[in-house]
Amino acid sequence: MKLQILGCYAATPRTLTNPTSQVLEIKNHMFLIDCGEGTQVQLRKHKIKFSRINHIFISHLHGDHFFGLPGLISTFRLLGRDRELHVYGPKGIKEAITLLLKLGDSWTNYPLLFHELTSKEPELLFEDDKITVETIPLNHRVYTNGFLFKEKLGERKLNVNAVAQYKIDKCYFQNIKNGKDITLNDGTRLSNTLLTFDPPKPKSYAFCSDTSFFPEIIGQIQEVDVLYHESTFLDSEGHLSERTKHATAKEAATIALKANVGMLILGHYSTRYKTIDLFKEEAMEIFPNVALADDGKVFEM
């Protein structure tokens, strides 16, 4: 699982910082999460093959989280894309995007599929044989969702020495990896645990931005490997977080602690601060394993 931050600052783009967008690579998928202005420039800058992107998840309809989407959709058209592109986002996103395409007489030459969201309860958005993606309802000024990406439990790992010892034919290997016991020709039944090792623990990633302090998400994100949580303000500007329905670094760390997550990544910083190191310092007073998102930064999990 690999996370690349394309942008992680609040509100307006600047020469050195970009609004929210990130790419998650997991089980041969490349998912785009939010698409603020400049996203496709960042994709090119960091040499990400965005032709691999088939699913885009938009948290909410504030400009710093989706104003880059019309341009990206248009670029896909210019590049001759023919594969389906799925866009998941709040109700209204289809109208917003298709109006621009209509006025510019620039309909896509590939299937553009919108999945509009209205539920205030978690819902499954995507599933295949390896992963699931579901919404995390958040608390912001407009309807907003985070997203929870979870690997499914993989195949058990073959114990090569054990199968060789019992001279088990290769034709049974897949059944063994699927968890089945094996009966030998002499009637001896071998437990699957004797022939295999446990598969790696499935990884999980939770994206939570934008939101105020919202403890209701704790149950859903319990023990995720990595939590990205917005931290627009420091605690000293807590009055601003209440008014704008954003969170502080201290509040993000509190969520991480109560959810017992593996690592907390902070982002969506207000640009009023001279250094983002202050966010990490504040969060680490509550939760020990804190990392700072920054434009272009890569996290390998």
> How far apart, in whole angstroms, are the C-alpha atoms of residue 210 and residue 65?
9
The predicted pLDDT at position 12 comes to 86
Active site residue 277: no
Answer for the pair 259, 224: CB distance below 8 angstroms, yes or no.
Answer: yes
Q: Annotated binding residues for Zn(2+), as ranges?
A: 60, 62, 64-65, 140, 210, 268
Q: What's the mean pLDDT in 90-112?
A: 96
Rounded to two decimals, what is the model's pTM? 0.93
DSSP of 128-150, one letter per residue? -SSEEEEEEE--SSS--EEEEEE
Considering only CA atoms, give the Rg of the chain.
22
Tokens 């690592």: give the residue: 263
Closest CA to 159 of 217, 186, 198: 198
Domains of the chain: 2-154+200-300 (3.60.15.10), 157-197 (no CATH)
Find the catalytic residue in 34, 64, 129, 294: 64
Digit-coded pLDDT (tens) for 208-217: 999 999 999 9
SS3 196: strand
- Please state whether beta strands 85-90 and 55-57 pair in parallel, antiparallel, or not at all (unpaired): parallel
User: Which of the residue ranges 64-73, 184-193, 221-230, 291-300 would you say has the lowest mean pLDDT?
Assistant: 184-193
Q: What's the mean pLDDT in 5-30?
A: 95
Answer for the pair 153, 199: CB distance below 8 angstroms, yes or no.
Answer: yes
The predicted pLDDT at position 15 comes to 86
